[in-house]
């Protein structure tokens, strides 16, 4: 029974802090708005894909793909992903495009992955400039193909899709950020209100005294200050 009384008390105190919850929710949405409008900088993503074709010597004219070629290609995918982000490839890209960054900085802007465990390699470049973004992606694919031919003396890499200049930024949309910010603010407000209500042991009304003591209230002391104010 005591637990029921405590739960009722907490819920009543929680309801009295609805304004606090609304304020924290509003403040969270306001912070998201200010960040999106004045501090967040747009960034762009460009993607190019490579496909591993028949493993043939550069002097060979036979382009037929065999089962052995597919087996070799599947094993080379992981190796090729590391070569793409190697210093040798990235230094050449930086020199070709005259980029003002180090190989470590460029490597952080490039992500490489195999597409659904196939012989297709996806190269994604992130940059603040959309034109530079697509140039880097296409140049990485070009330099990588040349280096693979030199290292393995084979030509089994072909560009499947070249990177286009991205027309819109890759940032999360303002509406999504606003909704997420509002939700986080609401949850945070509810959590703070619940903690305050849980530790609030003060008695707020006569009804709470009756619930706690299980005794009837025979009388109450009037507030003379309120009466004087009313007379004035």
Indicate the domain borders of the chain: 2-39+173-231, 44-161
Q: Where are the alpha helices (DSSP H) in the chain?
A: 2-15, 18-34, 67-84, 87-97, 103-108, 130-152, 174-199, 206-213, 224-231
CATH code for the domain defined by 44-161: 3.30.70.1130
155: which DSSP letter? -
- The pLDDT-based confidence of 76 (bands split at 50, 70, 90) is confident
Distances (CA, A) of 210 to 80, 116, 138, 177, 215: 77, 67, 77, 47, 6
pLDDT surpassing 50 at residue 1:
no
What mean pLDDT comes out for the span 179-204?
Answer: 84
Angle at 135 between CA 129 and CA 136, to 5 degrees: 90
Dist CA 191 CA 185 (whole Å): 10
Contact 65, 54 (CB under 8 A): yes
Whole-structure pTM value: 0.66
Q: Is 72 exposed, middle or buried (0-12, 13-18, 19+ CB in 10 A)?
A: middle
Per-residue model confidence (pLDDT) at position 115: 84
Minimal CA–CA distance to 193: which of 26, 19, 28?
19
Contact 123, 45 (CB under 8 A): no
- The pLDDT-based confidence of 95 (bands split at 50, 70, 90) is very high
Please tell me which residue, 142 or 232, carries the higher pLDDT value. Answer: 142
Per-residue model confidence (pLDDT) at position 58: 46
């Amino acid at each position: 029974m005591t637990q029921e009384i405590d739960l009722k008390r907490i819920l009543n105190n929680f309801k009295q802090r609805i304004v606090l919850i609304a304020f924290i929710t509003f403040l969270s949405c306001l912070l998201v708005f200010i960040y999106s409008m004045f501090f967040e900088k747009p960034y762009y993503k460009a993607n190019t894909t490579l496909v591993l074709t028949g493993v043939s010597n550069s002097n060979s004219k036979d382009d037929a793909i065999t089962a052995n070629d597919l087996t070799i290609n599947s094993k080379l995918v992981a190796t090729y992903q590391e070569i793409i982000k190697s210093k040798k490839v990235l230094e050449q890209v930086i020199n070709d495009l005259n980029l003002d960054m180090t190989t470590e900085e460029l490597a952080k802007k490039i992500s490489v992955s195999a597409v659904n465990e196939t012989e297709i390699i996806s190269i994604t470049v992130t940059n603040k400039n959309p034109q530079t973004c697509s140039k880097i992606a296409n140049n990485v694919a070009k330099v990588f193909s040349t280096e693979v031919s030199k290292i393995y003396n084979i030509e089994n890499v072909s560009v499947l899709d070249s990177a286009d200049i991205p027309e819109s930024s890759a940032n999360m949309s303002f509406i999504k950020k606003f909704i997420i910010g509002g939700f986080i603010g609401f949850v945070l407000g509810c959590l703070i209100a619940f903690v305050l209500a849980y530790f609030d042991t003060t008695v707020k009304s006569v009804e709470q005294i009756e619930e706690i003591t299980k005794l009837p209230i025979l009388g109450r002391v009037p507030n003379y200050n309120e009466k004087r104010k009313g007379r004035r």
